[in-house]
Amino acid sequence: MNKIQVCFSPQLFPLFNDQKSIVVVVDVLRATSVICVCFANGAKSIIPVETLEEALEWKAKGYLAAGERNGVQQKGFDFGNSPFSYVGNNIKGKEIVLSTTNGTQAIHAAKKAHKVVIGAFLNISALAHWLDNQGKDVIILCAGWKNKFNLEDSLFAGALANILISAGNFKTDCDSTLAAVLLYENAAKDIYGFLEQSSHRKRLAHLKLEKDIRYCLNTDKTDVIPIFQLDRLVAYGGE
Protein backbone atom coordinates (compact mmCIF):
# COMPACT_ATOMS: atom_id res chain seq x y z
CA MET A 1 0.00 0.00 0.00
CA ASN A 2 1.16 3.49 -0.78
CA LYS A 3 0.44 6.52 1.35
CA ILE A 4 -1.44 9.63 0.30
CA GLN A 5 -1.23 12.99 2.03
CA VAL A 6 -2.72 16.43 1.36
CA CYS A 7 -0.87 19.68 2.13
CA PHE A 8 -3.16 22.74 2.28
CA SER A 9 -0.50 25.45 1.84
CA PRO A 10 2.81 25.78 -0.05
CA GLN A 11 4.25 27.32 3.13
CA LEU A 12 3.67 24.02 4.97
CA PHE A 13 5.16 21.85 2.21
CA PRO A 14 8.58 21.45 3.90
CA LEU A 15 6.75 19.55 6.70
CA PHE A 16 5.62 16.96 4.11
CA ASN A 17 8.49 16.70 1.64
CA ASP A 18 10.26 13.38 2.06
CA GLN A 19 12.23 13.32 -1.22
CA LYS A 20 10.57 10.13 -2.35
CA SER A 21 6.86 10.94 -2.84
CA ILE A 22 5.35 12.18 -6.09
CA VAL A 23 3.99 15.68 -5.53
CA VAL A 24 0.80 16.73 -7.38
CA VAL A 25 0.54 20.53 -7.51
CA VAL A 26 -3.00 21.87 -7.88
CA ASP A 27 -4.35 25.37 -8.48
CA VAL A 28 -7.76 24.60 -10.00
CA LEU A 29 -8.73 28.28 -10.50
CA ARG A 30 -6.82 28.61 -12.75
CA ALA A 31 -3.08 28.01 -13.17
CA THR A 32 -2.90 24.21 -13.22
CA SER A 33 -6.06 24.04 -15.38
CA VAL A 34 -4.39 26.46 -17.82
CA ILE A 35 -1.23 24.32 -17.84
CA CYS A 36 -3.29 21.24 -18.79
CA VAL A 37 -5.01 23.20 -21.56
CA CYS A 38 -1.67 24.43 -22.94
CA PHE A 39 -0.32 20.90 -23.28
CA ALA A 40 -3.66 19.57 -24.60
CA ASN A 41 -3.30 22.23 -27.31
CA GLY A 42 0.24 21.21 -28.18
CA ALA A 43 2.53 23.52 -26.23
CA LYS A 44 6.12 22.20 -26.09
CA SER A 45 6.92 23.34 -22.57
CA ILE A 46 5.91 25.72 -19.79
CA ILE A 47 8.47 27.46 -17.62
CA PRO A 48 6.92 28.43 -14.27
CA VAL A 49 8.69 31.40 -12.66
CA GLU A 50 8.07 33.16 -9.38
CA THR A 51 8.28 36.85 -10.36
CA LEU A 52 6.78 38.88 -13.20
CA GLU A 53 10.22 40.46 -13.76
CA GLU A 54 11.74 37.05 -14.37
CA ALA A 55 8.92 36.21 -16.81
CA LEU A 56 9.61 39.41 -18.75
CA GLU A 57 13.31 38.51 -18.98
CA TRP A 58 12.34 35.23 -20.68
CA LYS A 59 9.97 37.14 -22.96
CA ALA A 60 12.84 39.41 -24.02
CA LYS A 61 14.68 36.22 -25.07
CA GLY A 62 11.79 35.29 -27.41
CA TYR A 63 9.51 33.17 -25.27
CA LEU A 64 5.75 33.68 -25.04
CA ALA A 65 4.97 35.08 -21.62
CA ALA A 66 1.93 34.76 -19.36
CA GLY A 67 1.62 36.95 -16.27
CA GLU A 68 -1.27 37.14 -13.84
CA ARG A 69 -1.73 38.67 -10.40
CA ASN A 70 -4.95 38.60 -8.35
CA GLY A 71 -6.92 37.29 -11.33
CA VAL A 72 -5.81 39.98 -13.78
CA GLN A 73 -3.44 39.74 -16.83
CA GLN A 74 -0.43 41.98 -16.24
CA LYS A 75 0.84 44.71 -18.57
CA GLY A 76 3.41 43.62 -21.15
CA PHE A 77 2.35 39.95 -21.22
CA ASP A 78 1.02 37.86 -24.12
CA PHE A 79 -1.44 35.98 -21.91
CA GLY A 80 -3.18 36.11 -18.55
CA ASN A 81 -4.57 33.08 -16.75
CA SER A 82 -7.67 32.21 -18.82
CA PRO A 83 -7.88 28.71 -20.33
CA PHE A 84 -9.64 30.23 -23.37
CA SER A 85 -6.56 32.23 -24.42
CA TYR A 86 -4.38 29.20 -24.98
CA VAL A 87 -5.66 27.88 -28.29
CA GLY A 88 -4.61 27.12 -31.86
CA ASN A 89 -1.38 28.15 -33.53
CA ASN A 90 -0.56 30.60 -30.74
CA ILE A 91 0.38 27.60 -28.64
CA LYS A 92 1.31 24.63 -30.80
CA GLY A 93 5.00 23.74 -30.38
CA LYS A 94 5.64 26.88 -28.31
CA GLU A 95 7.56 27.40 -25.07
CA ILE A 96 5.68 29.58 -22.63
CA VAL A 97 6.91 31.24 -19.46
CA LEU A 98 4.22 31.56 -16.78
CA SER A 99 3.98 33.52 -13.52
CA THR A 100 0.75 33.56 -11.48
CA THR A 101 -0.37 34.60 -8.00
CA ASN A 102 -0.45 31.13 -6.47
CA GLY A 103 0.06 28.22 -8.88
CA THR A 104 3.58 28.93 -10.02
CA GLN A 105 4.59 29.74 -6.44
CA ALA A 106 3.34 26.31 -5.39
CA ILE A 107 5.34 24.63 -8.18
CA HIS A 108 8.44 26.40 -6.90
CA ALA A 109 7.71 25.32 -3.32
CA ALA A 110 7.52 21.73 -4.62
CA LYS A 111 10.42 21.69 -7.04
CA LYS A 112 12.91 20.15 -4.62
CA ALA A 113 10.65 17.09 -4.35
CA HIS A 114 11.42 13.72 -5.92
CA LYS A 115 8.93 14.25 -8.76
CA VAL A 116 6.38 17.00 -9.47
CA VAL A 117 3.30 16.69 -11.69
CA ILE A 118 0.37 18.99 -12.35
CA GLY A 119 -3.23 18.16 -11.45
CA ALA A 120 -6.62 19.70 -12.31
CA PHE A 121 -10.14 18.41 -12.79
CA LEU A 122 -9.36 18.61 -16.52
CA ASN A 123 -6.87 15.71 -16.28
CA ILE A 124 -7.99 14.00 -13.05
CA SER A 125 -8.74 10.48 -14.35
CA ALA A 126 -5.58 10.19 -16.46
CA LEU A 127 -3.54 11.51 -13.55
CA ALA A 128 -5.13 9.10 -11.07
CA HIS A 129 -4.49 6.18 -13.42
CA TRP A 130 -0.85 7.22 -13.87
CA LEU A 131 -0.29 7.71 -10.12
CA ASP A 132 -1.86 4.32 -9.42
CA ASN A 133 0.81 2.72 -11.64
CA GLN A 134 3.84 4.43 -10.12
CA GLY A 135 4.07 2.51 -6.84
CA LYS A 136 5.07 5.67 -4.97
CA ASP A 137 3.60 7.67 -2.09
CA VAL A 138 1.70 10.78 -3.17
CA ILE A 139 1.48 14.29 -1.70
CA ILE A 140 -1.19 16.59 -3.12
CA LEU A 141 -0.01 20.17 -2.69
CA CYS A 142 -2.83 22.73 -2.82
CA ALA A 143 -1.70 26.15 -4.05
CA GLY A 144 -4.37 27.89 -1.95
CA TRP A 145 -4.63 31.66 -1.90
CA LYS A 146 -1.41 33.41 -0.86
CA ASN A 147 -0.52 30.45 1.36
CA LYS A 148 -3.97 30.24 2.96
CA PHE A 149 -6.30 27.23 2.61
CA ASN A 150 -8.82 27.41 -0.24
CA LEU A 151 -11.87 25.33 -1.02
CA GLU A 152 -11.44 24.54 -4.72
CA ASP A 153 -7.94 23.08 -4.43
CA SER A 154 -8.94 21.11 -1.33
CA LEU A 155 -11.96 19.71 -3.19
CA PHE A 156 -9.73 18.57 -6.02
CA ALA A 157 -7.38 16.98 -3.48
CA GLY A 158 -10.35 15.15 -1.96
CA ALA A 159 -11.57 14.00 -5.37
CA LEU A 160 -8.15 12.66 -6.38
CA ALA A 161 -7.52 11.02 -2.98
CA ASN A 162 -10.96 9.44 -3.18
CA ILE A 163 -10.20 7.85 -6.57
CA LEU A 164 -6.81 6.56 -5.42
CA ILE A 165 -8.03 5.16 -2.09
CA SER A 166 -11.10 3.54 -3.72
CA ALA A 167 -8.88 1.83 -6.31
CA GLY A 168 -7.25 -0.03 -3.43
CA ASN A 169 -3.53 0.76 -3.67
CA PHE A 170 -3.48 3.82 -1.40
CA LYS A 171 -4.32 4.49 2.22
CA THR A 172 -4.01 7.58 4.41
CA ASP A 173 -3.32 8.40 8.05
CA CYS A 174 -3.39 12.10 7.38
CA ASP A 175 -6.18 14.29 8.81
CA SER A 176 -6.04 16.80 5.96
CA THR A 177 -6.68 13.98 3.47
CA LEU A 178 -9.67 12.77 5.53
CA ALA A 179 -11.02 16.34 5.64
CA ALA A 180 -10.47 16.89 1.89
CA VAL A 181 -12.28 13.65 1.00
CA LEU A 182 -15.20 14.62 3.25
CA LEU A 183 -15.41 18.09 1.67
CA TYR A 184 -15.41 16.48 -1.76
CA GLU A 185 -18.15 14.01 -0.76
CA ASN A 186 -20.28 16.96 0.37
CA ALA A 187 -19.64 18.87 -2.85
CA ALA A 188 -19.50 16.11 -5.48
CA LYS A 189 -23.05 16.47 -6.79
CA ASP A 190 -22.61 20.15 -7.61
CA ILE A 191 -19.08 21.48 -7.29
CA TYR A 192 -19.93 24.72 -9.05
CA GLY A 193 -22.79 25.39 -6.62
CA PHE A 194 -20.72 24.31 -3.61
CA LEU A 195 -18.00 26.81 -4.52
CA GLU A 196 -20.52 29.65 -4.69
CA GLN A 197 -19.51 30.70 -1.18
CA SER A 198 -15.76 30.30 -1.76
CA SER A 199 -13.57 33.37 -1.53
CA HIS A 200 -11.75 32.91 -4.84
CA ARG A 201 -14.88 32.17 -6.83
CA LYS A 202 -16.28 35.47 -5.50
CA ARG A 203 -13.02 37.19 -6.47
CA LEU A 204 -13.17 35.80 -10.04
CA ALA A 205 -16.93 36.39 -10.41
CA HIS A 206 -16.23 40.03 -9.62
CA LEU A 207 -13.80 39.98 -12.57
CA LYS A 208 -16.50 38.40 -14.79
CA LEU A 209 -14.66 35.09 -15.08
CA GLU A 210 -17.65 32.77 -14.54
CA LYS A 211 -16.98 31.10 -17.89
CA ASP A 212 -13.42 30.27 -16.86
CA ILE A 213 -14.61 28.83 -13.55
CA ARG A 214 -17.19 26.58 -15.21
CA TYR A 215 -14.58 25.34 -17.68
CA CYS A 216 -11.96 24.58 -15.00
CA LEU A 217 -14.47 22.42 -13.09
CA ASN A 218 -14.94 20.05 -16.04
CA THR A 219 -13.39 16.64 -15.61
CA ASP A 220 -11.32 14.68 -18.11
CA LYS A 221 -10.90 17.07 -21.02
CA THR A 222 -7.37 15.75 -21.55
CA ASP A 223 -5.09 12.77 -20.79
CA VAL A 224 -1.97 14.89 -20.55
CA ILE A 225 0.19 14.77 -17.41
CA PRO A 226 2.43 17.83 -17.12
CA ILE A 227 5.64 16.83 -15.37
CA PHE A 228 8.45 19.05 -14.04
CA GLN A 229 11.90 18.42 -15.55
CA LEU A 230 14.90 20.58 -14.68
CA ASP A 231 13.37 24.07 -14.95
CA ARG A 232 10.19 23.44 -16.93
CA LEU A 233 7.02 21.43 -17.36
CA VAL A 234 6.68 19.05 -20.28
CA ALA A 235 3.85 16.75 -21.33
CA TYR A 236 4.08 13.15 -20.18
CA GLY A 237 1.09 11.67 -22.08
CA GLY A 238 -1.69 12.83 -24.41
CA GLU A 239 -0.98 15.56 -26.94
Rounded Cα gap, residues 35 and 39, in angstroms: 6
- Which residue, 92 or 202, has its beta carbon nearer to a second copy? 202
Residue ranges with strand state E in the chain: 2-7, 22-26, 45-48, 64-69, 72-73, 95-99, 115-119, 138-142, 170-171, 226-229, 232-235
- Which residue, 75 or 189, has its beta carbon nearer to a second copy? 189
Q: How far is the CB of 180 from a second copy (least distance, A)?
A: 9
- Which residue, 152 or 212, has its beta carbon nearer to a second copy? 152
Q: How far is the CB of 178 from a second copy (least distance, A)?
A: 6
Q: How far is the CB of 83 from a second copy (least distance, A)?
A: 22
In one-letter notation, the amino acid at residue 40 is A
- Which residue, 6 or 116, has its beta carbon nearer to a second copy? 6
Rounded Cα gap, residues 115 and 137, in angstroms: 11
Q: How far is the CB of 8 from a second copy (least distance, A)?
A: 6
Which residues sit at the interface with a second copy, rule CB under 8 A? 8-9, 11-12, 15-16, 145-151, 154, 173-176, 178-179, 182-183, 186, 197-200, 202
In one-letter notation, the amino acid at residue 74 is Q
Contact present, 78 and 43 (Cβ < 8 Å)? no
Q: How far is the CB of 14 from a second copy (least distance, A)?
A: 9
Q: How far is CA 137 from the centre of its chain?
A: 18
- Which residue, 68 or 152, has its beta carbon nearer to a second copy? 152
Nearest CA to 83 out of 49, 33, 26 is that of 33
